[in-house]
Amino acid sequence: MADDDSFLWLEDVTGDAALDWVRARNAETLEEMTGSERFERLRTEIREVLDADDRIPYIRRRGEYFYNFWQDAGNPRGLWRRTTLDEYRKDRPNWEVLLDIDALAQRERENWVWQSASVLRPGYRLGLIELSRGGADATVVREFDLDRREFVEDGFQLPEAKSRVGWIDENLIYVGTDFGEGSLTTSGYPRVIKEWQRGTPLEKAVTVYEGKPEDVSAFGYHDSTPGFERDFVGSSPDFYRVEKFLRTPDGLVRIDVPEDAQTTVHREWLLIRTRSPWTVNEREYEAGTLLAAPFDGYLAGWRELTVLFEPDARTSLEDYAWTRNHLLLTTLSDVRTRLHVLTPGEGWRREPMPAGPELGVAEIVDTDPAESDEYLLSTSGFAEPPTLSYGQVGGPAEVLKQSPTRFDAEGTTVGQYFATSPDGTQIPYFVVRPKAAGGPTLLTGYGGFEVSRLPDYSGVLGRGWIARGGTYVLANIRGGGEYGPSWHTRAMKENRYLVYEDFAAVAKDLIDRGITTREKLGTHGGSNGGLLMGVMLTRYPELFGAIVCQVPLLDMRRYHLLLAGASWMAEYGDPDDPAQWEYIRKYSPYQNVHSGRDYPPTLFMTSTRDDRVHPGHARKMVAKMREQDYQVRYHENIEGGHGAAADNEQLAQKWALLFEFLWSQLSYAPTGTARR
How confident is the model over 148-201, as pLDDT tens digits? 999 999 999 999 999 999 999 999 999 999 999 999 999 999 999 999 999 999
> How wide is the angle at C-alpha 298 spanned by C-alphas 294 and 301, nearest 5°?
145
- Provide the pLDDT for residue 3: 54
Handedness of CA 287, 450, 128, 562 (dihedral sign): positive
Q: Checking DSSP bridges between strand 157-161 and strand 139-145, what pairing results, if any? A: antiparallel
Mean pLDDT of 442-463: 97
- Provide the pLDDT for residue 2: 52
pLDDT tens readout for residues 86-123: 999 999 999 999 999 999 999 999 999 999 999 999 99
- Please name every residue paired with 151 in a beta bridge, in sequence order, or none if there are none: 144
- Provide the pLDDT for residue 643: 66
pLDDT tens readout for residues 275-327: 999 999 999 999 999 999 999 999 999 999 999 999 999 999 999 999 999 99
Does 36 participate in catalysis according to the annotation?
no
Q: Is 99 helix (H, G, I), strand (E, B) or coil?
A: strand
- Which of 198, 201, 202, 152 is closest to 176 using CA atoms? 202
- Provide the pLDDT for residue 433: 96
Mean pLDDT of 547-571: 96
CB atoms within 10 A of CB 308: 22
Q: Roughly how many angstroms between the first and final C-alpha of the chain, as a whole number?
A: 28
Domain edges within the chain: 2-48+495-667, 258-311, 312-405
Q: Which CATH number fits domain 2-48+495-667: 3.90.1310.10, 3.50.50.60, 3.40.50.1820, 3.40.50.720?
A: 3.40.50.1820
**644 band by pLDDT with thresholds 50, 70 and 90:** low
pLDDT tens readout for residues 201-243: 999 999 999 999 999 999 999 999 999 999 999 999 999 999 9
Question: What distance in Å separates the CA atoms of residue 253 and residue 243, rounded to the nearest whole number?
Answer: 11
Question: What distance in Å separates the CA atoms of residue 308 and residue 313, rounded to the nearest whole number?
Answer: 17
| Residue 71: partners with Cβ closer than 8 Å, 6 or more residues away | 50, 51, 77, 78, 79, 647, 648
Alpha-helix residue ranges (DSSP H) falling in 231-367: 295-299
| Residue 665: partners with Cβ closer than 8 Å, 6 or more residues away | 522, 545, 546, 600, 601
Q: How many CA atoms lie within 13 A of 292 on its CB side?
A: 19
Backbone region of residue 596 per phi and psi (left: phi > 0; alpha: psi in -120 to 50; beta: other values): left
pLDDT at 674 over 50: no
Q: How many CA atoms lie within 13 A of 466 on its CB side?
A: 26
Alpha-helix residue ranges (DSSP H) falling in 443-484: 459-464
Q: Is 472 helix (H, G, I), strand (E, B) or coil?
A: strand
Backbone region of residue 21 per phi and psi (left: phi > 0; alpha: psi in -120 to 50; beta: other values): alpha
- The helix (H) or strand (E) run that includes residue 321 is strand 315-322
For residue 145, give Cα distances in angstroms to 82, 121, 126, 150. 14, 13, 5, 6
| Residue 581: partners with Cβ closer than 8 Å, 6 or more residues away | 557, 573, 574, 575
Does 642 participate in catalysis according to the annotation?
yes
Q: What percent of the chain shows pLDDT beyond 70?
A: 97
CB atoms within 10 A of CB 372: 14
pLDDT at 124 over 50: yes
Which of the residues 380, 527, 567, 607 is marked catalytic?
527
**Relative orientation angle of helices 616-627 and 16-33, to the nearest 10 degrees:** 70
pLDDT at 669 over 50: no
Q: Are 444 and 414 in contact (CB under 8 A)?
A: no
pLDDT tens readout for residues 492-514: 999 999 999 999 999 999 999 99
Question: What distance in Å separates the CA atoms of residue 520 and residue 532, rounded to the nearest whole number?
Answer: 19
Q: Is 474 helix (H, G, I), strand (E, B) or coil?
A: strand
- Provide the pLDDT for residue 640: 60
Question: What distance in Å separates the CA atoms of residue 431 and residue 442, rounded to the nearest whole number?
Answer: 10
- Which of 133, 99, 45 is closest to 646 using CA atoms? 133
Question: What distance in Å separates the CA atoms of residue 183 and residue 176, rounded to the nearest whole number?
Answer: 9
Mean pLDDT of 570-591: 97
Q: Are 600 and 543 in contact (CB under 8 A)?
A: no
Mean pLDDT of 569-590: 97
- Which strands form 336-343's sheet, in the order they lie side by side? 315-322, 327-333, 336-343, 349-353
CB atoms within 10 A of CB 92: 7
- Provide the pLDDT for residue 415: 97
pLDDT tens readout for residues 126-147: 999 999 998 888 999 999 999 9
- Provide the pLDDT for residue 626: 97
DSSP string, 123-184: T--EEEEEEEETT-S-EEEEEEETTTTEEPTT--EEEEES-EEEEEETTEEEEES--STT-B
Which of the residues 488, 524, 635, 642 is marked catalytic?
642
Q: Checking DSSP bridges between strand 112-119 and strand 398-402, what pairing results, if any? A: unpaired
pLDDT at 673 over 60: no
Q: What is the mean pLDDT of the chain?
A: 95
Question: What distance in Å separates the CA atoms of residue 617 and residue 8, rounded to the nearest whole number?
Answer: 10
Q: Are 444 and 412 in contact (CB under 8 A)?
A: no
